[in-house]
């Protein structure tokens, strides 16, 4: 019986380039799934804070994916006008200067009134104007 001797050689550089190419393709192909997960996580945080009234904040997410030769960038934004205020919290105009202060740009009253009416319907201020109490029944 004869011996069988085989030798295999390969180019490590070529193999590594192929592996890297496959990894990069996997990252690029999964970028949309990653972006969708980011949006889902943000929406779940909004729901957990019970910060939903018209769903505008929930439905105003979008993302862009940029793929370069060395990196893939995912940018997720929320275009609702109230998104920065909701995200960071904001001090009132009278409370001093800060990064997240309303200054001259206050929340849109037209957007807030329906929420206030829905949440406080049937309520009124007491005679001192300091407390919210149930409104008297109309006779």
d(CA 108, CA 118): 17
Q: Determine how β-strand 61-67 pairs with β-strand 72-78.
A: antiparallel
Q: Is the pTM of this model over 0.95?
A: no
Burial of 78 (0-12, 13-18, 19+ CB in 10 A): buried
Among 81, 92, 36, 41, which residue's Cα sits nearest to residue 62? 36
d(CA 40, CA 48): 12
User: What pLDDT sits at residue 10?
Assistant: 66
- For the stretch 38-92, pLDDT in tens is 999 999 988 887 777 778 888 999 999 998 877 888 999 999 887 776 766 655 5
For the cut 90, the answer to whether the pLDDT of residue 136 exceeds it is no
Kindly state the average pLDDT of the residues 18-43.
88
Among 99, 101, 59, which residue's Cα sits nearest to residue 80? 59
């Amino acid at each position: 019986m004869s011996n069988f001797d085989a030798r295999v050689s390969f180019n490590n550089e070529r193999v590594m380039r192929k592996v890297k190419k496959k990894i990069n393709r996997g990252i690029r192909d999964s970028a949309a799934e990653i972006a969708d997960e980011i949006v889902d996580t943000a929406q779940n945080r909004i729901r957990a804070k019970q910060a939903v009234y018209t769903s505008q904040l929930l439905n105003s997410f979008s993302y862009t994916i940029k793929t370069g030769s060395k990196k893939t960038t995912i940018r997720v934004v929320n275009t609702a006008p109230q998104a920065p205020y909701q995200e960071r919290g904001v001090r009132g105009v009278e409370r001093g200067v800060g990064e997240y202060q309303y200054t001259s740009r206050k929340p849109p009253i037209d957007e807030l009134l329906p929420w206030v009416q829905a949440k406080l319907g049937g309520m009124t201020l007491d005679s001192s104007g300091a407390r919210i109490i149930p409104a008297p029944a109309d006779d």
